[in-house]
Amino acid sequence: MKILNVVGARPNFMKIAPIAEQMKAAADIEALLVHTGQHYDAGMSDVFFQDLGIPRPDVHLGVGSGTHAEQTARVMVEFEKVCMEQKPDLVLVVGDVNSTMACTIVAAKLGIPVAHVEAGLRSFDRSMPEEINRLVTDALANLLFTTSLDADINLRREGVDPARIHFVGNVMIDTLLKHRKRAADLDVPAKLDIEPGKFALVTLHRPSNVDEPSVLRGIVEALNEIGAHMPVVFPIHPRTLKRIREFGIETTRLRMIDPLGYLEFLNLMSNAGIVLTDSGGLQEETTILQVPCLTLRHNTERPVTIEEGTNLLVGTDKDRILEAFHRVRRGEWKPAGPPKLWDGRAAERIVEIIRNQAF
């Protein structure tokens, strides 16, 4: 069975790593890795391949940045050529970035079956580009692998044949559990001259938070105030840095640093007293690491991290963020149990199911 595994942007890399590893061990699978080039900076891409031991991509599409239409179209044009040349039996996509959707459309139109890993997540907010990507990808995918049972319910509600839905757990957590010990050896807080457990870790990159001056200003003001109580470490996404400069926003109390690699970031996250983020992945990772997480969004496609995890949805209002921060500081947050099947074996289940398909 010939499979094209697709990655494009930062959050894809840690999801594909355990799947590629399992496929390599399967004698009946020939897997090729296609990198669309949606993310291209060394700090947003190469470092993850090194940290996670992901083999070099077999094909690189080099699409780069652009508007949604430009980026999606470029991926489609280039990926179609690869599919026609390689004639795979299956295309496997992960997550919800533009590359995920673009490659799914191409494969579906060529009659190539598609497997979607992390299917069924819904924020029910179509102003979020990822929500559109999730809806389109899941409508076209033949095999839908889910991380939590709420995703199964969403898919069934949308009319997906239950036989196509497989609840397998979370591949991102496979990667976290595998590398947790190696990350623990790094001691990143010492390098930053901060004390473990006594700093806040921030990430921010959602267009709804960083592209709107008043929203970004309010969030950064809250973070500056938090900076009066403890160091605030902020590995900053290129998009966010651009906006902060463009809008002339003061970041006096923030320790802004370049984006980190996987292991360094995992070390920092494990040691943080609190995480404030608008990332989807961090909501899941903090749940496993038992670190309180304030999500600076009005909705989440990952409700299991609130119901069973350390996540709290606080929105983007400055006062609400600060109120939640002080509650956590007083120790008022709930420790979590790991969600069902977030046990490090999701990729194993996925590859086993794929091997049993007759395409």
Which of 22, 98, 154, 310 lies at the binding interface for ligand UD1 (CB under 6 A)? 98
What is the three-class DSSP state of 38? coil
Tokens at 272, concatenated = 């943080």
Q: Is 345 in the site for ligand UD1 (CB under 6 A)?
A: no
Task: Select the span of 3-11, 27-35, 153-161, 288-296 touching ligand UD1 (CB under 6 A).
Answer: 3-11
Q: Which is closer to ligand UD1, CB of 39 or CB of 166? A: 39
Nearer to ligand UD1, 35 or 349 (CB): 35
- Round to whole Å and give the CA distance between 232 and 4: 40
Task: Report the interhelical angle of 171-184 vs 10-25 (nearest 10°).
Answer: 100
Among 93, 97, 105, 226, binds ligand UD1 (CB under 6 A): 97
Q: Which of 50, 65, 290, 357 binds ligand UD1 (CB under 6 A)?
A: 65
Select from 14-22, 34-42, 142-150, 171-179 the region that touches ligand UD1 (CB under 6 A): 34-42
Q: Which one of 4-12, 248-256, 288-296, 343-351 is the stretch in contact with ligand UD1 (CB under 6 A)?
A: 4-12
Q: What is the DSSP letter of 203?
A: E
- Residue from 60, 89, 129, 299 touching ligand UD1 (CB under 6 A): that is 129
Distances (CA, A) of 301 to 95, 117, 209, 220, 236: 12, 15, 16, 24, 23
Of 83-91, 96-104, 298-306, 309-317, which part binds ligand UD1 (CB under 6 A)? 96-104
Q: Which of 35, 166, 179, 205 does the annotation list as catalytic? A: 205
Q: Is 237 a catalytic residue?
A: no
Rounded to 5 degrees, what angle do the CA atoms 324, 208, 332 make?
Answer: 10
**Cα–Cα distances in angstroms (integers) from residue 356 to residues 36, 108, 179, 273, 349, in the given order:** 28, 21, 29, 44, 11
Closer CB to ligand UD1, residue 10 or residue 345?
A: 10
40 is a contact residue toward ligand UD1 (CB under 6 A): yes
Confirm or reject binding of residue 121 to ligand UD1 (CB under 6 A).
no
Residue 188, interface with ligand UD1 (CB under 6 A)?
no
What contacts 24+ positions apart, CB below 8 Å, involve 121-128?
121/96, 121/147, 121/151, 121/154, 121/280, 121/301, 121/302, 122/151, 122/154, 122/301, 123/299, 123/300, 123/301, 124/299, 125/298, 125/299, 127/208, 128/206, 128/208
Among 51, 118, 130, 348, binds ligand UD1 (CB under 6 A): 130
Give the integer Cα–Cα distance in Å for 285 and 11. Answer: 12
From the list 239, 320, 327, 329, which residue makes contact with ligand UD1 (rule: CB under 6 A)? 239
Chain residues in the site for ligand UD1 (CB under 6 A): 9-11, 38-41, 44, 65, 96-98, 129-130, 205, 237-239
Name the residues annotated as catalytic: 205
